[in-house]
Amino acid sequence: MKKSKLQNASYRTLLTNFKEWLDILGYSEGMRKNYPNQLCEFFYWLEQNDINHIDYIEDHHIRKYYGDLKQRPNKTRGGALSNIYLNNHLQSLHKFREYLKKHNKKPFNLPIKRENSTIVEKLNVLSQEEIKDLFMATGYSNPLPRFRARQKALLVCLYSCGMRRNEVLNLEISDILFDKERIYVRKGKNYKERFIPINLYNLQILEDYVYDARMSFKKSSESNYVFITERSIKMGSSAIENDLKQVIKATEDRSLIEKNITPHALRHSIATHFLQAGMKIEDIQQFLGHSSLESTQIYTHILKYN
């Protein structure tokens, strides 16, 4: 949808406060961007339909808005919006309702059911063979050794350690406890701390990057962050995505390239592989840093499709 400037002052204030709330709670960069953008779409639709306050929202308004959303064309791929997109849009509205409740405001109803989509489709889980191909591709994914080492270290954190993108971005060198074979996550979701076990093989990959390849970046000693750019500043979300895309492209595997793999898909993949190997769901919950076991149990449904 083409971005339009909101005219309604109360909607603009709510949107700003919602963004700040997501940031305070430590949500990922992707959520801090997507949730407000989709909420902005909803507010703009309300404006265009002369609904100028959230207290005036009724069930039939929600149904009409969702019906219009389902009719909206997908400008990227053609056809209608995917079920995954529609469900993500609903999730944004659910999150906004949560915000309203937390701030003692009456939330509107959401009389809409989620669209059907398989768990595999939603999470975009990779096979263990595809993961091996990604690691192998870091041997030739970039002409410069320091970038190849960085990309391999990223795969270790995103897949082998199951870290969220925001956790990887904020990882500091002192957080890698080489002697204890642990990684300390100081800024997880909702600022929840945890320790992640890491085996000696993956630890060696991180050590080779941190104490060898990373030193090749100019002024690298001036930054405490593990993953830095050519100018030795902390990597951003887009930089991680670009590194991952470069590795995927290097595999020359057409099916892998067309999967539209995100950093979070690697986290989903390691959780699924652990479950397939017989790891207890409670241990996977602790590994991923989920506050609720319910969040982890989604992976049990994946086995039905494999």
Active site (annotated) includes residue 187: no
Q: Mean pLDDT across the stretch 275-290?
A: 87
Give all domains of the chain, ordered by start, each with its CATH number. Answer: 9-117 (1.10.150), 123-305 (1.10.443.10)
pLDDT at 10: 92
CB-count burial class (<10 Å; 0-12, 13-18, 19+) for 129: exposed
Residue 306 — pLDDT band, cuts 50, 70, 90?
Answer: very low
Pick the more confident residue, 117 or 214: 214
Residue 278 — pLDDT band, cuts 50, 70, 90?
Answer: confident
pLDDT at 276: 85
Q: Mean pLDDT across the stretch 33-56?
A: 92
Active site (annotated) includes residue 89: no
- Per-residue burial over 218-233, b if 16 or more Cβ lie within 10 Å, else e, is eebeebebbbbeeeee
Residue 82: pLDDT over 80: no
Residue 266: pLDDT over 90: yes
Tell me what percent of the residues of the chain surpass a pLDDT of 90. Answer: 54
- Interatomic CA distance for residues 97 and 95, integer angstroms: 5
Per annotation, catalytic residue among 164, 165, 268, 273: 164
Active site (annotated) includes residue 194: no
- Interatomic CA distance for residues 31 and 27, integer angstroms: 6
pLDDT at 116: 57
Residue 39: pLDDT over 90: yes
Per annotation, catalytic residue among 32, 148, 152, 290: 290
Residue 3: pLDDT over 80: no
Q: Mean pLDDT across the stretch 291-305?
A: 64
pLDDT at 228: 96
The residues with which 182 forms a beta bridge, in sequence order, are 177, 197
Active site (annotated) includes residue 164: yes
Q: What count of residues does the chain have?
A: 306
- Long-range contacts made by residues 100-106, C-beta under 8 angstroms, separation at least 24? 100/54, 102/21, 103/17, 105/54, 106/55
Active site (annotated) includes residue 189: yes
Per annotation, catalytic residue among 89, 95, 150, 189: 189
Ramachandran area for residue 126 (φ above 0: left; ψ -120 to 50: alpha; else beta): beta
Q: What is the pLDDT of residues 151-201, one digit of tens each?
A: 999 999 999 999 999 999 999 999 999 999 999 998 666 667 899 999 999
Residue 301 — pLDDT band, cuts 50, 70, 90?
Answer: low
- Per-residue burial over 133-154, b if 16 or more Cβ lie within 10 Å, else e, is bbbebbeebbeeebbbbbbbbb
- Interatomic CA distance for residues 21 and 69, integer angstroms: 26
Specify the 3-state DSSP secondary structure of 176. strand
Q: What is the pLDDT of residues 48-71, one digit of tens each?
A: 999 999 999 999 999 999 888 888
**How far, CA to CA in Å, does 129 sit from each of 90, 132, 215, 236?**
34, 5, 32, 28
Per annotation, catalytic residue among 89, 267, 268, 273: 267
Active site (annotated) includes residue 103: no
pLDDT at 77: 47
Lowest mean pLDDT among 22-26, 188-192, 266-270: 188-192
Q: Mean pLDDT across the stretch 114-121?
A: 56
pLDDT at 45: 94
Per annotation, catalytic residue among 66, 99, 159, 299: 299
Pick the more confident residue, 32 or 246: 246
